[in-house]
Structure 1
Amino acid sequence: MEFVERRSGISLWRQIADQIRIAISNGEFSDTDMLPGELALAKRFEVNRHTVRSAIASLAREGVVRVEQGRGTFIAGHQRLHYPIGRRTRFSAGLAGQTRTLSGSLKESRMETASAQVAQALALDPGAPVVRLVRVSTADDVPLSRAISWFDGTRFPDFAERLAKQRSITAVLKSFGIDDYVRISTRISAHHADPQTLEDLRLSPGAIALRTEAINAEVGGRRVEYSNTYFAADRIELDIDHETPSTGL
């Protein structure tokens, strides 16, 4: 029998969905590749079948399981992708060979004044102009990440326009004369995804997102990008690359 908290502030179906997700990750159902029936799960968690049905529906929306009418609930065949984080972290290169297709879309761009946090990360004065971009990356038509990035607005005033044409951060930086850049710090944490991340990554309320807060700089040390990237925790693993020298990881 599994344990669920009835006065935790987290809905029972969400707790059950999270526990089923963990059980799947641990290989508990690998012998059949399908979940027990609703009645068995209701008994396991001491809840009614409607609550179990809600939990399964949320997992199906996230692509963790698929429900086949009259047959049962099957575990989706996909495995987490592995994304290495090292001195030269590049999204497309890091996922190369793991997916059939990889694409990104620019969801939002604007010029704004730097907050104290953004200014410190980019070594700018507070209130300096910065370009803010929001991008969503997908693999095989499944959204993997939502990235919010900031760039020096004085140095890169038309960054968004160039990105719309070249569709690559690396390519845009090269167009500004920056041939190489490196990761100088990465901080990783886990959070319940906020509403916009839920929408962009097609997650259910209460889903967990892995967040990386990162700073990239030219090889000479001048900072070029500060980013907060949210990854769907069920779809990707972040691997720290210890073979390549790096700082702040």
Structure 2
Amino acid sequence: MSESDDSAVTEPSLPAPGEDVARGTGVALWKQIAERIEAEILDGRLAAGVRLPTEMELSERFGVNRHTLRRALAELAEKRLIEATPGRGTFVREPPIRYPIGPRTRFSEIVAREGRAPSGRLTGSRIEPASAEIAAALGLAPGTEVLRVDIVREADGVPLNIGSHWYEAARCRDLDLLVAATGSVTRALETLGLGDYRRLETRITARPADEEERRELSLPAGRTVLVVDAINGDAQRRPIQYSRARFAADRVQLVVKN
């Protein structure tokens, strides 16, 4: 038998062994399950970063069907207590990463300092003519060939941001191959002798995530991204990189360093 709606309780009357979700009280089972798991998160029995049992295991634990369980998990996700990552499972949410933005901003160093494991993967690259915006940022004539490199960066396997980076193609040829090999923009630039780059300008805005961002960042509909546009320069303050990073807004706390 199954529940016909949220409040009509038609699950078997006997509670699951070792559990005390109450049948026949008028309180929907999914709500009771959500409250139980929330309590375990808040009192530390389920620590931040811990992967929850599978849907089947939780269904068996509480003696309910998967529809009921999924309503409970959806409630916890809406409260930002848990987060599902495709291919990895559902995890208790980690606190937002404190992400300082200053003269020397390095993703891997920042994430590692927070006790997380940084990683990156190249999702695309191409040579294209510089738009007016990119040309102005890099001090080039519009239409000059630029190399675009797209990369998704993660912390403990959870996607944190999507970055699009533009470089003068003649100066940074094969940079995309180096990014693919190392998973790091910084290490790739170091190989080209440009590793000591510095932040020249940062602009931060916010907007709803688009379809690509929701897919790459594993975000549900309606979530927000923080868009960080930045210009980085070499030791002579000559621009070498224009970047646009889209951060999952609830996974980071951007801190502007003076």
Structure 1 runs, 4 residues or longer, greater than 6 Å off: 29-32, 53-56
Deviation at 1:78, TM superposition (A): 1.6
Greater mean alpha carbon deviation, residues 120-129 or residues 92-101: 92-101
Deviations 1:43-84 (A, max 9, x none): xxxxxxxxxx879628639964379xxxxxxx9352111011
2:237 is equivalent to residue 237 of structure 1: no
Q: Deviations over 1:80-123 (max 9, x none)?
A: 11011000111111222323421100011111111110111111
If you compute each CA radius of gyration, which structure gives the higher value, 1 or 2? 2
TM-score by length of 1: 0.69
Corresponding residue for 2:34? none
For 1:114, the equivalent position in structure 2 comes to 130
With over 3 angstroms needed to count, the CA separation of the structure-2 counterparts of 1:141 and 1:32, relative to structure 1, is: closer
For 1:192 and 1:58, the matched residues in 2 are separated by: 21
- Counterpart selection for 2:42 from 26, 33, 41: 33
Partner of 1:161: 177
Quick check: 1:57 aligned with 2:74? Answer: yes
- The one of 137, 152, 172 equivalent to 1:136 is 152
Equivalent-residue separation in structure 1 for 2:81 and 2:123 (angstroms)? 25
What's the offset of the Cα at 1:33?
3.1
Contact kept in structure 2, 1:62 and 1:204, CA below 8 Å: no
Q: Where in structure 1 are there 5+ consecutive unaligned residues?
A: 1-28, 35-52, 68-74, 243-249
Give distance in 2, aligned partners of 1:211 and 1:33: 31
Secondary structure at 1:177's aligned position in 2?
coil
1:200 to 216, 227, 236: 216
- Identify if the C-alpha distance between structure 1 residues 105 and 179 changes in structure 2 by more than 3 Å, giving closer, same or farther: closer
Please give the secondary structure, in 1, of the residue aligned with 2:250: coil
CA distance in 2, matches of 1:231, 1:224: 22
User: C-alpha distance in 2, partners of 1:142/1:32?
Assistant: 19
- 1:145 and 2:154 equivalent? no
Deviation string, structure 1 residues 153-189 (Cα, Å, up to 9, x no partner): 1111211112222332222222222241100000011
Does the C-alpha gap of structure 1 residues 204 and 179 become closer, same or farther in structure 2, counting only changes over 3 Å?
Answer: closer
What does residue 16 of structure 1 align with? none
Aligned residues: 191
2: CA distance between counterparts of 1:174 and 1:196? 30
8 Å Cα contact 1:146-1:230 kept in structure 2: yes
TM value normalised by structure 2: 0.66
- TM-aligned CA distance change 1:58 to 1:204, over 3 Å: farther
1:112–1:60 CA distance, 2 compared to 1 (3 A): same
CA distance in 1, matches of 2:193, 2:41: 55
Q: Which has the higher contact order (CA 8 A, sep 6+)?
A: 1
